[in-house]
Chain A
Amino acid sequence: MSEQAMLTASGLGLQFGPVTALDDVGVELWPGEVLAIVGESGSGKTTLLNVLAGRVKPDTGRIEYRDPAGGAHDLLAMGAPALRALHRSDWGFVQQNPRDALRMRVSAGGNVGERLMAAGARHYGSIREIAADWLAQVEIDPARMDDLPATFSGGMLQRLQIARTLVTHPRLVFMDEPTGGLDVSVQARLLDLIRTLVARLGIAVVLVTHDIAVARLLAGRMVVMQRGRVVETGLTDQVLEDPQHPYTQLLVSSVLQA
Chain B
Amino acid sequence: MSAGYNFAYLDEQTKRMIRRAILKGIAIPGHQVPFGSREMPLPYGWGTGGIQVTAAVLGPDDVLKVIDQGADDTTNAVSIRRFFARTAGVRTTTRTGEATIIQTRHRIPETALREDQVIVYQVPQPEPMSRLEPSRAETKRMHALAEYGPMHVKLYEDITRFGHVATSYDFPVMVNERYLMSPSPIPAFDNPKLDRMPALQLFGAGREKRIYAIPPYTAVRSLDFEDHPFQPRRATADCALCGASESYLDEVVTDDRGTRMFVCSDTDFCEGRRGE
- Are the CB atoms of A110 and B145 closer together than 8 Å? no
Within 8 Å by CB of B147, from A84, A110, A123, lies A84
Q: Answer yes or no: A127 CB below 8 A from chain B CBs.
A: yes
Q: Answer yes or no: B227 CB below 8 A from chain A CBs.
A: yes
Q: Answer yes or no: B116 CB below 8 A from chain A CBs.
A: no
- For window 95-132 of A, CB contacts with B under 8 Å fall at 103, 106-107, 109-110, 113-115, 117-119, 122-125, 127-128
Determine the interface band of chain A, counting residues with CB < 8 A from chain B.
Answer: 20 to 34
CB distance from A125 to the nearest CB of B (A): 5
Nearest neighbor of A123 in chain B, beta-carbon distance: B226
Nearest neighbor of A109 in chain B, beta-carbon distance: B160
- For window 20-44 of B, CB contacts with A under 8 Å fall at none
- Are the CB atoms of A107 and B160 closer together than 8 Å? yes
Contacts of A124 in B (CB 8 A): 156, 159, 225-228
Within 8 Å by CB of A106, from B157, B226, B227, lies B157
**A114-B149 contact given A124-B156, A146-B160, A146-B161, CB 8 Å threshold:** yes
Query: CA–CA, A103 to B152, complex, Å?
Result: 14
**A110-B149 contact given A122-B225, A124-B225, A124-B228, CB 8 Å threshold:** no
Contacts of A123 in B (CB 8 A): 225-227
Q: Answer yes or no: A81 CB below 8 A from chain B CBs.
A: yes
Contacts of A103 in B (CB 8 A): 153
Within 8 Å by CB of A110, from B153, B226, B227, B228, lies B153
Contacts of B226 in A (CB 8 A): 122-124
- Are the CB atoms of B156 and A113 closer together than 8 Å? yes
Q: Answer yes or no: B232 CB below 8 A from chain A CBs.
A: no
Q: Answer yes or no: B150 CB below 8 A from chain A CBs.
A: yes
Contacts of A110 in B (CB 8 A): 153, 156-157, 160
Determine the interface band of chain B, counting residues with CB < 8 A from chain A.
Answer: 10 to 19
- For window 184-213 of B, CB contacts with A under 8 Å fall at none
Nearest neighbor of B223 in chain A, beta-carbon distance: A122
Contacts of B153 in A (CB 8 A): 103, 106, 110, 113-114, 117
Contacts of A125 in B (CB 8 A): 227
Residue of A114, A122, A127, A146 most packed against chain B (CB within 10 A): A122
- Are the CB atoms of B157 and A122 closer together than 8 Å? no
**A84-B152 contact given A110-B157, A124-B159, A146-B161, CB 8 Å threshold:** no
Query: CA–CA, A103 to B147, complex, Å?
Result: 17
What are 6 A-B residue pairs whose CB atoms fall within 8 Å in the complex?
A: A107-B161, A110-B157, A113-B156, A123-B226, A123-B227, A124-B226
Beyond contacts A122-B225, A124-B226, A125-B227: 14 other A-B pairs, Cβ-Cβ < 8 A, are A80-B145, A81-B145, A106-B157, A107-B157, A107-B160, A107-B161, A114-B150, A117-B150, A117-B153, A118-B147, A122-B152, A123-B225, A124-B227, A146-B160
Contact surface of A with B, Cβ cutoff 8 Å: 80-81, 84, 103, 106-107, 109-110, 113-115, 117-119, 122-125, 127-128, 146
Q: Which 7 A-B pairs have the closest CB atoms?
A: A118-B149, A124-B225, A117-B152, A117-B149, A123-B226, A114-B153, A125-B227
